[in-house]
Amino acid sequence: MKQRIRRWDDERVKTKFVIIDPGLKNLGGHNYTLAVSFSAAAYAMGYEVWWLCDHNFRSEVVPKYIRAEKVFPISYYKKFNIRWGLVRIYDWLADWAGGKTLWKFATEQVDQATSLPWGRMIFRHLHPFAKEIEMALKNFGIGPADHVFVTTAEYLQYAALIEVLSTGGQKDLPFFHVRTCYDESCALNKRFGARLPSLFRRFRDCGLVGHKICFYAETPALVAHFSSWNLIPFKVFGNPVPQEFLKMPAPFSHIGKPLTIVFPGQARIEKGYLRLPRIVAALQARKDLSRPVRFVLQSNFRKSDKVDRPPWRDRDRYEARESLRAFPEEFVQLVEQPLSNEEYYASIADADIVLLPYDVDIYGVRPSMIALEATVLGKPVVVTSGTTLADFVEPGTGETASTDFEFAEGLARIINAYDTYRTKVEARAATIRHESDPCVLVERMVAQATAINERACAGEAPSLVGLF
| The overall pTM is greater than 0.75 | yes
Q: What are phi and psi of 301, to 5 degrees?
A: -145, -20
Segment 159-211, tens digit of pLDDT? 778 878 876 667 788 999 988 876 555 445 544 556 677 778 888 888 788 78
pLDDT of 135: 87
Q: How confident is the model at residue 18 (pLDDT cuts 50, 70, 90)?
A: very high
Contact at 8 Å (CB) between 72 and 53? yes
Ranges 21-35, 185-199, 311-325, 376-390, most confident: 376-390
The sign one gets for the Cα dihedral 38, 39, 44, 50 is positive
pLDDT of 462: 54
Q: Would 3-240 and 244-435 be classified into the same CATH topology?
A: yes
Q: What angle do CA 64, 216, 363 make, to 5 degrees?
A: 100
Give the N- to C-terminal CA distance of the chain in Å, as an integer: 36
% of the chain residues with pLDDT over 70 = 70
The sign one gets for the Cα dihedral 312, 313, 318, 323 is positive
What are the domain boundaries of the chain? 3-240, 244-435
Q: How confident is the model at residue 6 (pLDDT cuts 50, 70, 90)?
A: very low
Asked if the model's pLDDT at residue 123 lies above 80, the reply is: no
Longest dimension (CA), the chain: 81
Single-letter amino acid, residue 60: E
pLDDT of 303: 53
Q: Please state which CATH number belongs to domain 244-435.
A: 3.40.50.2000
CA dist., res. 299 & res. 321, Å (int): 7
Q: Which of 240, 339, 342, 320 is nearest to 273 (CA)?
A: 320
Q: What are phi and psi of 67, to 5 degrees?
A: -100, 115
pLDDT of 83: 54
Rounded to 10 deg, the angle between the 276-284 and 315-325 helix axes is 20
Q: Which fold has domain 3-240?
A: Rossmann fold (3.40.50)
pLDDT of 156: 67
Segment 80-95, tens digit of pLDDT? 455 556 655 655 665 5
Q: What is the mean pLDDT of residues 273-286?
A: 96
Single-letter amino acid, residue 376: V
pLDDT of 329: 93
Q: Residue 281 burial by CB count (10 A; 0-12/13-18/19+): exposed, middle or buried?
A: middle
Neighbour-count burial for 84-109, b at 16+ CB within 10 Å, e otherwise: bebbbebbeebeeeeeeeebeebbee
Asked if the model's pLDDT at residue 407 lies above 50, the reply is: yes
Asked if the model's pLDDT at residue 406 lies above 60, the reply is: yes
